[in-house]
Amino acid sequence: MKSFRKIFLAIKHFCLPIILTATVLTLTACNPANFKSVAAQVPQLVSSILSDPKTFNYPLSQESPNVFSLIYEGLITQNPITAKVEPALAESWQISDDKLKIVFTLREGLKWSDGQPLTVDDVVFTYNNIYLNEAIPTDVRDGLRIGKSRKLPTVQKVDERRVEFSVPEPFRPFLLSTGSPILPAHILQESVKTKDQNGHPTFLTKWGVDTPPNQIIANGPYKIERYDTSQRVVFRRNPYYWRKDAQGNSQPYIERVIWEIVESTDTSLLQFRSGGLDTVGVSPDYFSLLKVQEKQGNFKIYNGGPTSSTSFVWFNLNKGKRDGKPLVDPVKSRWFNNVQFRQAIAYAIDRQTMINNTFRGLGVPQDSPISVQSPYYLSPKEGLKIYPYNQQKAKELLLKAGFKYNQNQLVDAQGNRVRFSLLTNAGNKIREAMGSQIKQDLSKIGIQVDFTPLAWNTFTDKISNSLDWEASLMGLTGGLEPNDGANVWAPEGGLHMFNQKPQAGQKPIQGWEVAPWEAQIGNLYIQAARELDEAKVKAIYAETQRITQENLPFIHLVNPYSLSAVRNRFEGIKFSALGGAFWNIEQIKIRD
C-alpha cells in the first residue's frame, strides 16, 4: 500500500500556455506524438504522468508515479485478476511443512539489462544488505516484520540456483512478502558498504533522478533509455528480459514506452483526443465527453469497477516537538486529537453530493481502509460504522466535545476560532474539487478551512519530512492483502502519516505519543499476519476496520470507478481495477 512522488522543467513551458488557449493546430505543434520524429518508428506506447519521478532508487521510493513496475521484477508476482501468486524471477518454490521456510529456485540464464548474470547472490544482497538493513530507510522492511518482536526473516544462499527465506514464527503473508524487486549487487553493493561524512550509506544518494539512465540497471521488461526533466521518461525494451511466448519469441512486444510529463489532467485529455497519447485515465468529468467519441477516436473506455485505492482527509495527530517547537499548534492539536471532532468532520462532509457532482455518479462512498476487492473487506452491512451526511449530528458532537458557536462561527472552549489549513497536491482536478467542496461543507458547521493545493514535492516534504501540516487530502494504493499496508498501521511505520515517527536520517521528535487505539490496530495487524486460520484472519481485520472507523485517523471519502481509455490498436488488454490496462505489458501487442 504505497503512495509516491515527483518534479518538473522544459519543453512543456513552451507548449502549455498555447495548449490552454487551445486550437487543434497549436496542440499538434506540441503533441508528444512528434517525439516519433526524433527516433526511428518503432512499436511504442505513449501515456502521461502528472509530474516527474522523484527517484530511481526503489527502496527509497514512497511515491507514484514511479518507474519500478516497468524496470524491475521480484521472485514472484500476484495476478491482479485471479489473485494467484505466479512465478517471476523464481521458476518455483517450496514451502516447508511448518510454514517457516520457503526455498526458491531461480530460472536459468537470468541476466541484468547490462548483460551481467542475475544470480542467487543478487537475491541475498537485495534482502540482507538493503531491505533488511536498518541503516536504509525503506518501507519494504515494515512489511517483512514478524510478530510482536518485529523480527525480520533471514535469507541465505542454498546453492547456485536456490535461496532460502526463514521466519521465526508462522507468517501468513510470507510468500507474498517476497515479491519486492531484486536489485543488482554488482552495481549497488559498494554504495551500501561506503559511508558518507554523517555515517550513512552512500546508497541513500544512489540512483537519483540525475543519474544517467544507462547506469540504472534493470531486470524487468524495460530499462530507462532517457529522462528529460519535466518533459518525458522513455523506456526501451530490455533485450535480456527472461520472458518468451509459447513460440519462443522474446517479450515484451512493444519496443518503447514513453511517459509524457503533463502537469494538468486537462492537457492530458487534449493530447489524448488529438492522438498524442495512446491511453489516458478517465476522470469522471471527462467520461461523458470521451464515451461518445469511442468509435470516432478508435479507442475503448475500460471500467474495472471501484478502484483499489483510497481517498481521505486526515489530521496531523502528532503531539511531538522538534527543536522545542510543537509540530502542530497545541490549540489545534487538541481539536484534532478529539475523536468527537474527527467524527463531526466525517458527518459534515456530503460524500453523496461529491459523488454526484465531482465524480458524475461514477463512484461509491468509501468507508474502509481495506480495498473492496480484498476478501478481508468489512462492509457496512456487516457492521462497519459509516458517517452519512448529517450536519445536525456533526454540530451535536462538536457541542458535546466542548465547542460552541459565536454568531455561526465555531470556537473552542477557550474562545479560539476553529480554523485550519487543508493541503493536497496541485494538478489533480478531481482532488482539488473535493477539497473545495470540503471547505464549503465545513463552513456550514462554522469551521473555516484554508484549502491549499501545493506542488507535489512541497506537499510530500511536509507530510513525510518536515511534518508541519494540519490537515491533508490524499489517497493510498490498496490491494488484496491488508498486510501490504502494515507500514501505514504500525506506529513506527514509514507511512503512519497521521502520527509520523521520524524516519532514518530525519530530525528527532520529542514527546511523540501513540494512542491506545493506534497501538491496538498495530497489534491486530501483527496478529493477522501470524494467524493461519482464514476465518480468524477475517475477524481480526474486521476488528481493525471497526477501530479505524470509530477513531477516524483517516476520514474516507469516495471510491471512484477505475476507468481508462486505450486505443484499439493494442491487443491483449486484460483490464483490472487492481492492475489497470497494462499490468501484463509484456504480453500486449500493437495491431498494424
Domain with CATH 3.90.76.10 in the chain: 76-190
Q: May I ask the CATH architecture of the domain 12-67+196-307+561-590?
A: 3-Layer(aba) Sandwich (3.40)
Neighbouring residues of 512: CB distance < 8 A, sequence distance ≥ 6: 318, 319, 320, 499, 501
Neighbouring residues of 7: CB distance < 8 A, sequence distance ≥ 6: 51, 52, 53, 54, 209, 229, 230, 457
Which residue, 533, 485, 487, 521, is CA-closest to 170? 533
Rounded to an integer, what is the distance from CA 58 to the centroid of its chain? 13
Q: May I ask the CATH architecture of the domain 76-190?
A: Alpha-Beta Complex (3.90)
Instruction: Give the per-residue pLDDT at 95.
Output: 93
Which residue, 279, 260, 133, is CA-closest to 193? 133
For every one of its 592 residues, what pLDDT tens digit does the chain have, with 9 covering 90 and above? 333 222 222 222 223 222 222 222 223 334 444 444 444 478 999 999 988 999 999 999 988 779 999 999 999 999 988 889 999 999 999 999 998 999 999 999 999 999 999 999 999 999 999 999 999 999 899 888 887 788 899 999 999 999 999 999 888 889 988 999 999 999 999 999 999 998 999 999 999 999 999 999 999 999 999 999 999 999 999 999 999 999 999 999 999 999 999 988 889 999 999 999 999 999 888 899 999 999 999 999 999 999 888 899 999 999 999 999 999 999 999 999 999 999 999 999 999 999 999 999 999 999 999 999 899 999 999 999 999 999 999 999 999 999 999 999 999 999 999 999 999 998 888 899 999 999 999 999 999 999 999 988 899 889 988 999 999 999 888 888 898 888 899 998 888 999 999 877 788 999 999 999 999 999 999 999 888 889 999 999 999 999 999 999 999 999 999 999 999 999 999 999 888 999 999 999 998 7
Alpha carbons 551 and 207: distance in angstroms, whole number: 40
Instruction: Please tell me what DSSP assigns to residue 522.
Output: H
Domain with CATH 3.40.190.10 in the chain: 12-67+196-307+561-590
- Check if the beta carbon of residue 74 is closer than 8 Å to that of residue 123: no
CA dihedral of 289, 290, 295, 297, whole degrees rounded to 10: 110
Which residue, 144, 56, 178, is CA-closest to 487? 144
Alpha carbons 279 and 249: distance in angstroms, whole number: 26
The grid coordinates listed for 47 are: 501515456
Instruction: Give the per-residue pLDDT at 280.
Output: 96
For the four alpha carbons of 513, 516, 521 and 525, in that order, the dihedral sign comes to positive
Residue 290 amino acid letter:
L
Instruction: Give the per-residue pLDDT at 11.
Output: 23
Alpha carbons 496 and 336: distance in angstroms, whole number: 16
- H runs (alpha helix) in 444-572: 456-461, 486-489, 516-530, 534-551
Domain with CATH 3.10.105.10 in the chain: 309-560
CATH class of 309-560: alpha beta
> Considering all CA atoms of the chain, what is the largest pairwise distance in Å, rounded to the nearest integer?
76
Which secondary structure element, helix H or strand E, spans residue 295, and what is its range?
helix 294-297
Kind of pairing between the strands at 162-166 and 101-106: antiparallel
The three-state DSSP-derived secondary structure of 376-391 is CCCCHHHCCCCCCCCH
Exposed, middle or buried: residue 52 (CB in 10 Å: 0-12, 13-18, 19+)? buried
Number of neighbouring beta carbons within 10 Å of residue 9: 12
Neighbouring residues of 269: CB distance < 8 A, sequence distance ≥ 6: 280, 286, 289, 290
Alpha carbons 271 and 28: distance in angstroms, whole number: 8
Which residue, 59, 88, 35, 53, is CA-closest to 257? 35
Distances 427 to 55, 430, 452, 455, 456 between C-alpha atoms, Å: 20, 9, 12, 8, 9
If DSSP codes are grouped into helix, strand and coil, which group holds residue 236? strand
> Rounded to two decimals, what is the model's pTM?
0.76
